[in-house]
Structure formats: C-alpha cells, structure tokens
C-alpha cells in the first residue's frame, strides 16, 4: 500500500509544531464559546429589560381608542354640536406605490395640489406622515378603493355645528385633536371629551397589526351637555342684530337675553360672527365674544341704580321735584349739561327724559361710599360668575379715590366700565324684586335665589320709571312691542380714543325687560359705531330690543299683558350723554 503524501519528503509537515500553538487555538475557541454564553446570559437574564424595551419600541404600539365627544344641546333638546366619524389619512412614505395616475386621484380626493402631496411623500426615511386630518367618510372610502400601497386611515371624529354662525360665540369650537378651543367647548372640555381607551398591539414593518396584547381599555364617551340657551331665540336675536348692524353701517353689535326668573342665559349673539366648523381666514374681530369681552362706559343705563339708591334710602320719592334749569350744573369747576333744558322734573321724569343734571343733583346728596357699594352689589367691577371663557370684570374704582366731579359723572354712567353681559345681569335687580340673581349657561328650571340690593318697593318704582322711559315722552319709545308692556333705558356714549373721547364715534345700547309688572326676560342690545346718521340708543338699539322681546316672549309662551292697538311712531326724546 502506497501513501499519496510522503510526510518525510514535505518540509512543512515534517517540522515539529509547537505545543503552545494548538493549546492557544483550543483556548481561543473555548473563550469564544464562553463569550457567546456570557452574552446570551446577559441578553436573556441580566439585560433582558433593555432588549425587551427595544423590541417593544420597534414593534409594539399602544393605539388610542378615541372617545366620542358628548353632544351640546339647547334647552329644548335640539343639537347645537355633535361629533361624526371623520377618518384621517396617513402614509408610510417609503412604502407608497408611486403610481402617478393613482396619486393624482389621491391628491384630488384630498383637495391638495399633486406637488404638495409628492412633497409629503418625498422623504422615504419617514415611517409616518399625515396626509389630511378628518376627511368625510365617503372620501375615505374612495381613497381606500384606490388600493394604494402605504396609504392608511385612522378612525377619528370631527364636530358639526348645525346652527352655524348664529350661536358660534356660545358653543365655540374644537381643534383637529377634538379639544375645546372656545366657548362651551372649551369651558366644559373635560365633561364633553370623555376618556380615550387604549389597545396594545404588535405591528409589522408595514404598520399592520399582527397581534393584540393584553386586554383592551374601552373608551368612555363624553357626556351630553344641555344649555339654557333657546336656539330659536338665539337665531332670531342674531338675525335682528345683524340687520341692525348692517342697516346702521356699524362696526359690530351684541345682544344678550336672560330669563328674569331663573337667571338662565337664553341667547348671546354677536356680529360679525363665524361658522364654527369652517374657520378659514377667520379674524379676531369675528372670534371675539363682544358681549362678555368688550367693556364700555354704560352711560344713562346707570341712572336707574343711582335713583334706586336715593329711593331706597328715603332721600327722594318718585314725585320729589328736582330743578334742572337752566339745563346745566357745575361741580368743582366742571359743567354737566342736559341735551335740552327741562326745568323742574319729578324723579320719575328724571329717568323718563334721561336728565344728567337731575341725576347729578340727586347723586350729590349721597356719600360716594353708598354709591360704590350699590354699584358693586349690582355686579359692576366684578367678573361675572358664569362658566364661560373671556368674561371680564370691567372697571369700578374704589370710592375713596372719587373726586366730586367723578362721583357726579359716575351717577350717569361715566368713569366706570362694564360689559353688555354685566349690564343685562345688573337689571335683574329691578326685575327680581330688588335681588341680583346668579346667571347660568346650563339649563336650570328653578327660580333663582339672589342677594337683596334694593327693597321690592324700590324695584317696582324703578320699573315704572323704566316703563315711562320706554314710552311716549321718553328716550326709547321705539322699544315698545305689540301686546307686551316693556321698560328699559337707552344709552349713548362717545367712544374713548386714547385719553379722550372721539367726537364722531359712538356706542348705542338699550337694556330693559318685559312684561313690566312681572318681568320674564331681560334684553340688552349694543351697536358699536353706527354711521348711517342715527346714533342715539333709543333710535338704533331700541328697535332691536323691541323685536327680540316680542318674538322671545311668544316663543316662551308668555301671555300678552296689553291689548293689541295700532302702533303710532313716537319721536324719541334725545338723551343726554
């Protein structure tokens, strides 16, 4: 038998191999196996948590299960805001099939230029990108029918507001994440929003759910919210306000309607307004809830409080005569004027013709502290206690800082400021037997319990004066309605510009109640900067008050308290301001 290899003839094979070399090779292999075992032990036992977390980060996801936001209803159960399914479209750019024809169709369905869509999909390093949030369900179905790889949808909801711009400033709106941003949507966001659920899943690299892990946490839907607002009264009030702003070529306007018995807010409307679910190109002028955020010097609408205090303290009676001739009065060097010289006037007539001189002479009989306490008790200088964002407190300086001329001007509404909402609430003092009552945006059928400011006798006496002011010979006869007795006070004031007053810019308003003997509603109207020729509150705001009062009382089923007679147009007495 011959060998194929002659070991003795090969120098390489014939040389002696060092023993340490073989031992080294065996030791290196053994050490490698020990290292692998140690690494395996570290991964499996010692560092398990880290690697488990890394795996979860890459493949395990917690999916939110959105809760259905609660509805907002008016006092009669009509829907003011509700949520509807609105899928959101997203993509994994690196997986998208760049079929030009299908991408063109997708861009059309998403209502975006193809260039913009391609830009969103251009970065292939991205594993997630929103294409469009909250599309209509039919659109989502058409997108799914395209069968584009890498395009997905996520279940979401969007809000709808059936009453549109008429009630926008009350209801407000939500953002794309379904969080309240304004109005009731913001104030009651927690109650309406509910609580989202969750679902733990494992996804593959394509974003597809492979397996559910653990138990699902079901979402808790938000609660429905019933407001005190009557959507029919709200819509009518908004229409009449809008018409008045447009016809008077005014800058803006607001109207507030309160239930004089329960303190419920029946309507709060502003113009200009906006459509809550279509907010493109929206401006701050549209968004601002002027009835609560804008303050102004209330002017003559403050006179009933000054007279009420004088009556309540026994300093005057309704028939006390005040000499207002020659139509002016000087206080510490400053002269206060009436629009016309009236001569002797009873206290009732001081309110009827809105005499600054008469009001001033009555006010100067009283300590500044008493006036400040009465104004404060009626809610001036204090933020309204109402669940609504943006409500302001206005301004009422401490009585210790009042100079005599300031006490005089404050008696007829200059030197302090208030919002239209504050003015409306303050008149509950006269409608509710001398009590200032709390107001609410939530439905509340029980009569409100308030804090006594004037005696019931004084409140009734002032109501009679307000009826005279809204009747023949008063400053607001255009406030009268068919079938219902009304009472109220008009106001007109120059607008403040810087540290002074503009000579050609006015705010016109009217605040009152009806029926006068047993008031059911209070209505306050303000028109900002009318420029069509008329600017007195009795000419600009009183007609809106009249229409809103008449329609509101009919909608509430209030029985007329006056015989229906042919209406005669009566010229309003020009008010002093």
Contact status, residue 256 vs residue 523, Cβ threshold 8 Å: yes
CB atoms inside a 10 Å sphere around CB 351: 30
Q: Which positions are catalytic?
A: 300
Rounded Cα distance, 537 and 526, in Å? 8
Instruction: Find out whether 259 and 229 touch, Cβ atoms under 8 Å.
Output: no
The full length of the chain comes to: 577
Residues 6+ apart with CB under 8 A from 86: 134, 135, 136, 137, 156, 157, 158
Rounded to 5 degrees, what are φ and ψ at 175?
-90, -175
Strands 225-226 and 72-73, by their bridges, are parallel
Q: Which two tokens stand for residue 92?
A: 């994994």
Cα Rg of the chain, angstroms: 37
For residue 448 the two structure tokens come to 């409100």
314 CB-contact burial (10 Å; exposed 0-12 / middle 13-18 / buried 19+): exposed
Running DSSP on this structure, what letter comes out for residue 264?
B
Distance CA 151, CA 90 (A): 6
First to last CA, the chain: 137
The dihedral through the CA atoms of 224, 226, 229, 231 has a sign that is positive
Dihedral sign, CA of 478, 479, 485, 491?
negative
**β partners of residue 62:** 200
The DSSP secondary-structure symbol of 69 reads P
Q: How far is CA 45 from CA 39, 41, 53, 55, 57, in A?
A: 10, 5, 14, 15, 19
How would you classify the pairing of strands 252-259 and 265-271? Answer: antiparallel
Percent of the chain that is helix, strand, coil (3-state, to 5): 35, 25, 40
- For residue 515, cis peptide bond before it (omega within 30 degrees of 0): yes
Give the contacts of 152 (CB within 8 A, at least 6 positions apart). 89, 90, 91, 92, 207
Backbone angles phi, psi at 298, to 5 degrees: -70, -10
Choose among 527, 520, 459, 514: nearest CA to 487.
Answer: 514
Phi/psi at 294 (nearest 5 deg)?
A: -95, 135
Residue 153 near residue 89 (C-beta atoms within 8 A):
yes
Characterise 244 by phi-psi region: left (phi > 0), alpha (psi -120 to 50), beta (else).
alpha
């Amino acid at each position: 038998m011959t060998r194929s290899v002659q070991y003795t003839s090969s120098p390489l094979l014939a040389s002696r191999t060092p023993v340490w070399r073989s031992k080294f090779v065996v030791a290196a292999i053994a050490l490698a196996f020990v290292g692998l075992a140690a690494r395996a032990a570290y991964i499996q036992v010692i560092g398990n948590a880290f690697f488990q977390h890394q795996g979860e980060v890459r493949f395990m996801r917690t999916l939110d299960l959105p809760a259905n936001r609660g509805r907002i209803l008016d006092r009669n159960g009509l829907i003011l805001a509700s949520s509807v399914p609105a899928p959101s479209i997203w993509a994994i750019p690196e997986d998208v099939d760049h079929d030009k024809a299908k991408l063109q169709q997708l861009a059309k369905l998403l209502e975006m230029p193809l260039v913009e869509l391609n830009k969103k999909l251009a970065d292939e390093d991205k594993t997630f990108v929103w294409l469009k949030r909250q599309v209509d369900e039919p659109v989502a179905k058409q997108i799914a029918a395209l069968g584009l790889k890498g395009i997905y949808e996520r279940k979401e909801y969007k809000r709808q507001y059936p009453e549109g711009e008429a009630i926008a400033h009350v209801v407000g709106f939500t953002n794309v994440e379904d969080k309240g941003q304004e109005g009731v949507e913001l104030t009651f966001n927690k109650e309406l929003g509910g609580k989202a659920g969750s679902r733990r899943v494992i996804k593959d690299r394509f974003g597809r759910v492979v397996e559910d892990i653990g138990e699902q946490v079901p979402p808790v839907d938000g609660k429905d919210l019933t407001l005190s607002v009557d959507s029919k009264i709200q819509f009518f009030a908004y229409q009449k306000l809008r018409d008045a702003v447009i016809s008077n070529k005014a800058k803006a306007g607001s109207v507030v309607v309160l239930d004089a018995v329960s303190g419920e807010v029946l309507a709060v409307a502003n113009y200009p307004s906006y459509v809550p679910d279509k907010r493109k190109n929206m401006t701050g002028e549209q968004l601002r809830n002027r009835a609560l955020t804008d303050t102004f010097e209330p002017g003559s609408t403050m006179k009933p409080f000054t007279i009420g205090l004088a009556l309540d303290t026994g300093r005057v009676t309704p028939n006390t005569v005040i000499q207002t001739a020659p139509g002016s009065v000087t206080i510490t060097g400053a002269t206060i004027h009436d629009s016309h010289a009236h001569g002797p006037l009873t206290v009732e007539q001081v309110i009827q013709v809105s005499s600054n001189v008469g009001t001033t002479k009555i006010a100067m009989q009283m300590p500044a502290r008493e006036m400040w306490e009465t104004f404060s008790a009626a809610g001036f200088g204090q933020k309204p206690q109402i669940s609504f964002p943006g409500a302001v407190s206005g301004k009422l300086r401490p009585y210790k800082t009042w100079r005599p001329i300031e006490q005089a001007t404050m008696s007829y509404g200059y030197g302090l400021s208030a919002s239209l909402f504050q003015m409306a609430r303050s008149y509950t003092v006269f409608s509710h037997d001398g009590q200032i009552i709390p107001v609410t945006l939530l439905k509340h059928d029980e009569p409100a319990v308030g804090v006594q400011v004037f005696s019931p006798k004084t409140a009734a006496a002032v109501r009679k004066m307000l009826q005279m002011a809204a009747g023949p010979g008063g400053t607001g006869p255009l406030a009268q309605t068919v079938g219902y007795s009304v009472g109220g006070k008009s106001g007109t004031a120059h607008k403040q510009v810087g540290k002074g007053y503009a000579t050609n810019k006015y705010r016109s308003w009217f605040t009152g109640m009806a029926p006068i003997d047993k008031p059911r509603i209070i209505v306050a109207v303000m028109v900002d900067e009318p420029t069509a020729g008329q600017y007195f509150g009795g000419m600009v705001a009183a007609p809106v008050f009249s229409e809103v009062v008449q329609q509101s009382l009919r909608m509430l089923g209030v029985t007329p308290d006056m015989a229906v007679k042919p209406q005669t147009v009566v010229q309003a007495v020009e008010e002093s301001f």
